[in-house]
Structure 1
């Protein structure tokens, strides 16, 4: 395939998911804050997936069981996420393709089908976490049974289309508003918990126990799966193209710089939220000897009595509901982008959304009916491990594309960044193999 003429490529009028390309104006003059504000949005849309209900399950279980030990895994996962999302933005800005379309253009049909199936499994696993999280939040805050909460979660499709009808900027504003609610709730929780700062910071230093302890390793891989999400790589490479940066070499450099800044700031916010969940669980539960708190419902009911503050549980529930609703938006967009990119198949958004959500609701209803709330907790953690298993199928093509000089031209990644990216991919693959070997051994 001949190299792309980056200087002449105008980009498509419509991106995956029906989003208009170059629809958000970028100021040509003004201070750096004004220009950053114009580009702010895609990074926060991506950051949603890094603090969805799936993260809560793994973070709560890790904090209550092992204290601050797995903070190092959260930090490592977030650093990997920053690198991978920067590469995803690079691919989208330079080529005008999202990751799914790049796979379609560069790989054979059978390979594309296989990658598409792997990505769809990841999206359903992600949606599974959102269904469970939303259902649990509705149950805790309003007493709605889990099964009905799972069914109610399907109607959020109408909220998405209402926001999309008002423009992509309105959708971004809605997402950022909910992110701020989540951030505020956990900032208050951290103040109430009063963690030991010395022990807290020591938790960010990696320890061998994370790998040598099978249970800690299982949760660590779950955290990686919950943090670095495969569908976010497809999503980010598409939505960065909504910005109207000049489609020239210099314009792309400017766009890339602001895109990386935006996603890095947003993912730092996600790091705080994930760390705050684990720190709260470690401080409130692990310190008191409650090392068996693995369910979100347990954490909700225990927070207020153990902290001695009545609003602690309510804040937890509100943040959980905001997280579940928010994650729905990005999963919907990612699903449409993936289907259109790999297959050139554009379904009406409501059909695509109900199909994906239906596949996620069915196992939740079945497991809840048979095993109750305890079954949904285990299903939630398992969904995150499934996500981690799908990561190589997104990361390997991404790293190959951005390190391909014929495709990327002058924007090709340098040897250091390429080595770091391949190192991240290798680390995730090795951890997954260790987990699978341990599972079959048991």
Structure 2
């Protein structure tokens, strides 16, 4: 006899809300004031945007700008559009089904499949944490001259900082993230003004150029930009943290929540687009213009900025933005790790234990590589972390698109025909491009 489902479309009843300690903790005004409601829903989008401007994006953006000028701006724009669609699906899943993506996978797939998805996701989060460590470590070296190995150990201290804000309340975490994003924005605004980019080529760069596909090297870097832009753990994260809002869990309440959460997400990702585009624009306006067309290393880029722009502040702002980016990503990575572990296997650890496990997994290879190979080794480790994220990406997108396109699970909120087709087209494109990236990476072709 088939076991009766305790919840429409799902195998199990969801007894434990996602991030239960902050679930429905941010009040949403009941009156019809648009701006007050929008402010109440502002926050989760900023946490998501962090993953789209983390240190893992920097190398590909710098390489793209130095080699091809402004041409690959269109790739960043398209990648950002893909991200807006996928994050909309993630927040919709969380609001409608009151499950994060990890919980949804556990309640839909057989235990073995769910376990495999959990392991893959944990590996990707550790890889993402590795990229955050490397970004922070390089920034500490650039700003204060701290050796790479000591910098890796110093990054472990951020556990205490994260826990402090986590206990203060979710709005505090969002405020810290917003402040760090503002820091990054100010730093890159200064860099753009100093680099004096050309406006017309920038506008032309936003329009897709056939040369991107014809040139095998530009095509390869374009895939790298796409792979570094769409982060798999962000889909798990967004489907969870949107549930921190205290909106009515009714059909009308969910419609309202989806509306304002989508505005928050779209605006925040537009900000992420600006920052990613800024990195490429600065690279194009400085390195490419000066004839340095092979710059793909963060440390080398920093070294060249000061003499090219003629200002010692250029390197300082560059390193400060890198440090803010690394620390911001650490905050969101911690939350994603907690969500994934609790969602997939329904086991709760104290936050400091969970954070310590994830950080140790990332710190050990970072220390070994930094001791043996130094700065060049950490840069290669950053590239490896992005490859791991590319592998995991498909295993997060497919379930998300499948669930939100299922009328039994989503009811009246199921993806419409246009959104459903668009989501699957985006999914197929990302899967094919990531397969191509991995194929060429492992064969050593560039």
Q: TM-score per shorter chain, which class?
A: over 0.9
Separation in structure 1 between the aligned mates of residue 313 and residue 98 of structure 2, nearest angstrom: 47
Give the alignment partner of residue 98 of structure 2, picking from 71, 96, 99: 96
1:139 aligns with 2:141: yes
Separation in structure 1 between the aligned mates of residue 215 and residue 126 of structure 2, nearest angstrom: 29
For residue 352 of structure 1, give the secondary structure of its aligned residue in structure 2: helix
Q: Mean Cα displacement is larger for which, 241-250 or 305-314?
A: 305-314
Please tell me whether the aligned partners of residues 214 and 438 of structure 1 are also in contact (alpha carbons under 8 angstroms): no
Give the alignment partner of residue 355 of structure 2, picking from 348, 353, 356: 353
Give the alignment partner of residue 120 of structure 2, picking from 115, 118, 128: 118
**2:406 alignment counterpart:** 404
Describe the shift of the 1:308–1:216 C-alpha distance in structure 2 as closer, same or farther (beyond 3 A). same
- Structure 2 counterparts to residues 194-343 of structure 1, below 5 A: 194-343=196-345
Describe the shift of the 1:92–1:399 C-alpha distance in structure 2 as closer, same or farther (beyond 3 A). same
Residues 299-347 of structure 1: per-residue CA shift (max 9 Å, x gap): 2222121111221111111111111111101000000100110011112
Separation in structure 2 between the aligned mates of residue 2 and residue 234 of structure 1, nearest angstrom: 24
**1:42 alignment counterpart:** 44
**2:18 alignment counterpart:** 15
Separation in structure 2 between the aligned mates of residue 102 and residue 419 of structure 1, nearest angstrom: 22
1:71 aligns with 2:47: no
Separation in structure 1 between the aligned mates of residue 442 and residue 230 of structure 2, nearest angstrom: 25
Separation in structure 2 between the aligned mates of residue 175 and residue 104 of structure 1, nearest angstrom: 30
1:84 aligns with 2:114: no
Shift of 1:205: 2.0
1:154 aligns with 2:153: no
Q: Mean Cα displacement is larger for which, 50-59 or 242-251?
A: 50-59
RMSD over aligned Cα atoms? 1.8
For residue 22 of structure 1, give the secondary structure of its aligned residue in structure 2: coil
Separation in structure 2 between the aligned mates of residue 327 and residue 438 of structure 1, nearest angstrom: 28
Shift of 1:298: 1.4
Separation in structure 1 between the aligned mates of residue 368 and residue 213 of structure 2, nearest angstrom: 33
Separation in structure 2 between the aligned mates of residue 427 and residue 346 of structure 1, nearest angstrom: 36
Separation in structure 2 between the aligned mates of residue 150 and residue 340 of structure 1, nearest angstrom: 28
Please tell me whether the aligned partners of residues 12 and 21 of structure 1 are also in contact (alpha carbons under 8 angstroms): no
Could you tell me the TM-score, scaled by structure 1's length? 0.95
**1:376 alignment counterpart:** 378
Separation in structure 2 between the aligned mates of residue 335 and residue 115 of structure 1, nearest angstrom: 13
Please tell me whether the aligned partners of residues 17 and 98 of structure 2 are also in contact (alpha carbons under 8 angstroms): no
Q: Mean Cα displacement is larger for which, 57-66 or 42-51?
A: 57-66
Separation in structure 2 between the aligned mates of residue 303 and residue 30 of structure 1, nearest angstrom: 50
Shift of 1:32: 1.5
Please tell me whether the aligned partners of residues 61 and 293 of structure 1 are also in contact (alpha carbons under 8 angstroms): yes
For residue 389 of structure 2, give the secondary structure of its aligned residue in structure 1: helix
Count of aligned pairs: 438
Separation in structure 2 between the aligned mates of residue 19 and residue 216 of structure 1, nearest angstrom: 46
For residue 50 of structure 1, give the secondary structure of its aligned residue in structure 2: coil
**2:186 alignment counterpart:** 184
Give the alignment partner of residue 129 of structure 1, picking from 128, 131, 141: 131
Please tell me whether the aligned partners of residues 14 and 20 of structure 1 are also in contact (alpha carbons under 8 angstroms): no
- Structure 2: state its 5+ residue gaps: none
**1:60 alignment counterpart:** 62
Separation in structure 1 between the aligned mates of residue 251 and residue 14 of structure 2, nearest angstrom: 13
Shift of 1:374: 1.7
Describe the shift of the 1:438–1:403 C-alpha distance in structure 2 as closer, same or farther (beyond 3 A). same
**2:109 alignment counterpart:** 107
Separation in structure 2 between the aligned mates of residue 113 and residue 207 of structure 1, nearest angstrom: 42
For residue 51 of structure 1, give the secondary structure of its aligned residue in structure 2: coil
Describe the shift of the 1:243–1:324 C-alpha distance in structure 2 as closer, same or farther (beyond 3 A). same
Give the alignment partner of residue 28 of structure 1, picking from 7, 27, 30: 30
Q: Mean Cα displacement is larger for which, 426-435 or 256-265?
A: 426-435
Shift of 1:4: 4.3
Separation in structure 1 between the aligned mates of residue 14 and residue 175 of structure 2, nearest angstrom: 25
Q: Mean Cα displacement is larger for which, 136-145 or 206-215?
A: 206-215
Please tell me whether the aligned partners of residues 89 and 236 of structure 1 are also in contact (alpha carbons under 8 angstroms): yes
Shift of 1:356: 1.1
For residue 287 of structure 1, give the secondary structure of its aligned residue in structure 2: helix
